Amino acid sequence: MQILIDVVQNFLDGIMVGSSYALLGLGFSLTFGVMRRVNLAYGSTILIGVFAGSTLLRLMPGQPILALLITIGMTVVAGIYVERLCFRAIPQEAALASMVSSFAIWMQLDEFVIQSPWSQTYAYPFPSPFDLGSLEFGPFAARIDYLLMWFSALAVMLALWWIVYGTGFGRSMRAVSNNIDGARMLGLNVNKINFRAFLLASVIGGLAGYLIAVSQEQVTPHLGLWATIKGLITMIIGGMGSIPGAIVGGLLLGIAEIQAGWFLGAEYRELVAYLLLFAFLIFRPGGLFGRTGGDGIGTDAQRV
Amino acid sequence: MDYLYSVMANMGMIAFVALSAYLLLVVGQISFGQQGFFAIGAYVAGICTAVWQLPLSLAILAAAAVAGLAGVMLGLPTLRLRGLYFAISTLAFGEMVRLLLNLFHYRVDIDGEAVGPEGAEGFRGIRYIFENDVSQLDYVLLIYGLLGVVLAGFFVLEHTRLGSIFRMIGEDELAASMQGIDVTAFKLLAAALAGFIAGEGGALFAHFTTYLEPKNFGVMLGVHSLVYGLIGGLGTALGPLVGVAIDIGLLESLRWLSQYRMIVFGGLVAVLLIFRHRGLLDEELVHRLRASRRPGLDPPDTPGRPDSQSAAAVSYPPPTATEAPMLAIDGITMKFGANLVLNDLNLEVASGQAVGLIGPNGAGKTTVFNILTGVIPPSAGSIRFQGREIVGRPTHDIVQLGLARTFQNLRLFKRMTVFDNVWSAQHRLPGMPVWRIVGHDRVAERARRARVYELLELTGLLDKADVLAKNLPLGESRRLELARALAREPQLLLLDEPTGGMIPRETDEMKRLLEGVIASGKTLILIEHKMDMIMELCDRIVVLNFGEKICEGPPGVVQADPKVIEAYMGLENDDVADGRGT
């Protein structure tokens, strides 16, 4: 009986953790879906935002809304920097150069945070604005801030769905994603659309960063690496460029990690995450919601 | 001095991983996981000397061999993945190695002391170089000696056919397979070699640091190694070394900046990549440097004179005197989803014939070529080439039978010279066993080079032999496609719009060229839109429309056929006859 309770509780926890992965995966999927290029600096732009939020909370405690705005705002600013330097300035054909350039900027942004005068310790506190405790029902418990994260992920997904499938901007994004040359020939300003997709991804990243920081109550400079890798794994599992894929992929990853950590031990948690990724790549490279085989994207990304 | 040694040793050991990632970049694969092979090498070597008490040389060999084997094991399931998918799978591999090392316990009592890897605690006491009194200097020399061997290997590779095979695969896998190259096998070979090199570096690392921890082998090491090749340049194996030197050299020279080093370095790399997408020493610069060092390639002894020996060395045996036609297409049907692209196509081509394949855009002409060369499998039907069934065989296998094609949308190896484009197409011609890709047979090789020059002269590209293919204008690019296809000494030549986009003067040149090819007795299938040309060149014309063969016969008959005129909508009979239709 206890084992059943554990499984269910892990499942609930996994969904909660997975919703942060889902948000990261959404941001990743958005930029990759439109630009067909990988932004390795995504996690570190989030780190910049969260660090700015943490600094603000230290200088002016008790300003959760302002901290949220600053977190998102600084993530966007860092995102624009990355877009200009690593993507706009490098032509589409040189996808490898873009990726490596975004890696260099990742290193730069991480170092920028660590060396900044406001960074006295190796962990940046991020006090939660409200002590929500947890919701208990029967033998199960769910932290309310995690529930909040879960609902935010759902809301972001719905909003993104509406933007992509219900607005003119979304239609042009899909056009660029589908056939960049065709879109250009139809007179779409591809640079502008890429830029807006990047902004949107940064906003989602900033929001994800804020929610993660609040639930952990502190972050370390490792957030950048962590967010980039979790986002990448989620995107692959869900299917590149797929919105529902990012959500389901993130939840699946979260549940698998928590179950493995509980039943096999903490050191297996990461291992199982990578095993899951590896299994998907080999048996279903298109991911859950991608085209089987992922040929379309594979061929595009092949010429690096 | 010790400090200098340790910096030197670090640079040398990292260089192994960087070269390993570089080799995969050359075959067009991005790997974030070479640190995994480095880790495997380090642990294997450490266990060999510390636990099993084996000598260092054996330990290094074992480490490299195990890591190379791991490269094959990883490559088997993952190398069919492309681009980003492969990159992520290597990331997963590298991290899995690190996490598994966290769980890896293997302790053995040696002289009353427990030695061996102890999970996340690490692997202490790899004391071989202390126990055997190897001085720091000697060890640094050993590192650079082995690095020199690896580098020498790369330089030999550059000058063999194997090197050009790797570069061809890196540029365009489809075009490479069309030159008879088994792409998967050679990618696997590259993965094995890359693992081997990284494992060797790991073995050296284990004995230099004497203490291994799984966290030494994080994803950062792998990504850095990948970046080194791209900073230094992908044109030569010196590139990754330049990358390592810049990073670690800058690290030392910017000590006054100490904590801001990464900020400056990251910015510099990003700016560099804006101007040089393939690094400092990219293919173009390397090509220029080489060209300035030795003016021109070895010129042909007797330009233009067909060398009887060369012809004997490279030509296929004449078609066997069986009754089988050169090509027999029987009931080929192709469906993409609900789209019927080809419907029950039958076509027979006799040896020495020139057949024109025409039809409006989207009629399925190029699809016929793709099916013939095994690029896509047909939904139904059979194709016999000289009596042998070729449906279901891979591309490299089919072209090996004596079939070559050009591409409508030009798939040259753009970062290789004109000469190399043609030269590398001679892969495994008859009389060239597979091991010849690493060792030259001087006499035969001279004959083959003479043949390349002969083809370049035939196509009017002799004075462009040393130009990179990407710098050719369209007309010359199409002629180079033809020269490359002819270099395979095919019996059946498939030409996909050889005059597409050409101005009239270039079209005339191409027509004269093709007349010569036909006169030399080659069998030809030609897709063209320029009617006058196809009417003059071909013995027989096949007209496709919406995947159906609507007409077949000699030019005169086809021209008069009302169905053909209708297919070329709105064209008056006279226009077609005058060859003004396009």
pLDDT higher than 90, residue A156 = no
The residue to which tokens 């960049």 are assigned: A180
Cβ–Cβ of A274/B92 closer than 8 Å? yes
Mutate to test the interface with B, among A29, A101, A235 (most CBs of B within 10 A): A101
Average pLDDT score over residue span B49-55: 93
pLDDT higher than 70, residue A294 = no
Cβ–Cβ of A282/B262 closer than 8 Å? no
* Span B337-386, pLDDT tens digits: 888 889 999 999 999 999 999 988 888 899 999 999 999 999 999 999 99
* Span B348-357, pLDDT tens digits: 999 999 999 9
Q: Which residue of B has its CA nearest to A239?
A: B85
Higher-confidence residue of B505 and B256: namely B505
B547: left (phi over 0), alpha (psi -120 to 50) or beta: left
% pLDDT > 70, chain B:
91
Q: Which residue of B has its CA nearest to A114?
A: B259
Cβ–Cβ of A105/B83 closer than 8 Å? no
Cβ–Cβ of B100/A271 closer than 8 Å? yes
Cβ–Cβ of B227/A100 closer than 8 Å? yes
Chain B interface includes A107 (CB < 8 A): yes
Mutate to test the interface with A, among B31, B78, B80, B84 (most CBs of A within 10 A): B84
Chain A interface includes B215 (CB < 8 A): no
Cβ–Cβ of B273/A101 closer than 8 Å? yes
Higher-confidence residue of A255 and B337: namely A255
Q: Which residue of B has its CA nearest to A102?
A: B270
Name the residue among A90, A277, A301 with its Cβ closest to that of B273.
A90
pLDDT of residue B376: 92
Q: Which residues contact A193 (CB under 8 A, 6 or more apart)?
A: A34, A169, A172, A173, A176, A183
Chain A interface includes B375 (CB < 8 A): no
The residue to which tokens 């065989």 are assigned: B393
Three-state DSSP at B526 gives: strand
pTM for this entry: 0.90
Residues A221, A122: contact at Cβ < 8 Å?
Answer: yes
pLDDT of residue B576: 46
User: CA B357 to CA B496: how far, in whole Å?
Assistant: 9
Query: What is the rounded (10 degree) CA torsion for B570, B575, B579, B582?
Result: -20
CA distance A32 to chain B (A): 11
Q: List chain A residues with CB under 8 Å of B273.
A: 86, 90, 97-98, 100-101, 104
The residue to which tokens 């004959």 are assigned: B447
Q: List chain A residues with CB under 8 Å of B77.
A: 282
Chain B stretch 151-190, residues whose beta carbon is closer than 8 A to a beta carbon of chain A: 173
Choice among B122-136, B446-460, B562-576 with the minimum mean pLDDT: B562-576
The dihedrals phi and psi of B241, each to the nearest 5 degrees, come to: -65, -40
Chain B interface includes A285 (CB < 8 A): yes
CA distance A244 to chain B (A): 20
Q: List chain A residues with CB under 8 Å of B84.
A: 32, 38, 240, 297-298, 301
B119: left (phi over 0), alpha (psi -120 to 50) or beta: left
Average pLDDT score over residue span A156-181: 88
Residue burial B256-265, b: 16+ Cβ < 10 Å; e: rest: eeeeebbbeb
Please give the DSSP secondary-structure letter assigned to residue B337.
T
Average pLDDT score over residue span B49-76: 95
CA distance B501 to chain A (A): 19
Three-state DSSP at A269 gives: helix
Closest to B69 in 3D by CA, of B187, B196, B222, B206: B196
CA distance B101 to chain A (A): 11
Q: Which residue of A has its CA nearest to B266?
A: A104
Q: List chain A residues with CB under 8 Å of B274.
A: 85, 89-90, 101
Q: What is the mean pLDDT of chain A?
A: 86
CA distance B24 to chain A (A): 12
Chain A stretch 223-252, residues whose beta carbon is closer than 8 A to a beta carbon of chain B: 225, 229, 232-233, 236, 240
Mutate to test the interface with A, among B26, B30, B31, B85 (most CBs of A within 10 A): B85
A131 pLDDT band, cuts 50/70/90, is: low
Q: List chain A residues with CB under 8 Å of B85.
A: 236, 281, 285, 294, 298, 301
What domains, with CATH codes, occur in chain B? Answer: 2-232 (no CATH), 322-365+375-402+490-582 (3.40.50.300), 412-489 (no CATH)
Chain B interface includes A284 (CB < 8 A): no
Q: List chain A residues with CB under 8 Å of B92.
A: 274-275, 277-278, 281
Chain A interface includes B262 (CB < 8 A): yes
B568 pLDDT band, cuts 50/70/90, is: confident
Name the residue among B77, B95, B219 with its Cβ closest to that of A282.
B77
pLDDT of residue A304: 29
% pLDDT > 90, chain A:
42
Chain A interface includes B376 (CB < 8 A): no
Closest to A26 in 3D by CA, of A149, A129, A178: A149
Residues A104, A41: contact at Cβ < 8 Å?
Answer: no
Chain A interface includes B95 (CB < 8 A): yes
pLDDT of residue B304: 43
Cβ–Cβ of B266/A85 closer than 8 Å? no
Name the residue among B83, B100, B274 with its Cβ closest to that of A301.
B83
Q: Locate B70 and state its tokens.
A: 């791991």
The residue to which tokens 């002289």 are assigned: B111
pLDDT higher than 70, residue A295 = no
Three-state DSSP at A232 gives: helix
Name the residue among B28, B223, B263 with its Cβ closest to that of A111.
B263
Average pLDDT score over residue span B224-234: 91
pLDDT higher than 90, residue B67 = yes
pLDDT higher than 90, residue B66 = yes
Chain B interface includes A86 (CB < 8 A): yes
- The helix or strand, by DSSP H or E, that contains position A142, with its residue range, turns out to be strand A140-143
Q: Is the dihedral of CA A227, A223, A161, A143 positive or negative?
A: positive
* Span A51-86, pLDDT tens digits: 999 999 988 888 888 999 999 999 999 999 999 999
Average pLDDT score over residue span B21-43: 95
CA distance B167 to chain A (A): 13
DSSP string, B384-452: EETTEE-TTS-HHHHHTTTEEE--TT----TTSBHHHHHHGGGTT-TT--GGGGTS--HHHHHHHHHHH
Cβ–Cβ of A304/B269 closer than 8 Å? no
The dihedrals phi and psi of A141, each to the nearest 5 degrees, come to: -140, 145
Chain A stretch 149-208, residues whose beta carbon is closer than 8 A to a beta carbon of chain B: none
Pairing relation of β-strands B327-336 and B339-349? Answer: antiparallel
CA distance B227 to chain A (A): 6
Residues B240, B232: contact at Cβ < 8 Å?
Answer: yes
Choice among A172-186, A273-287, B308-322, B546-560 with the minimum mean pLDDT: B308-322
Closest to B496 in 3D by CA, of B540, B539, B534: B534
Name the residue among B173, B269, B277 with its Cβ closest to that of A104.
B269
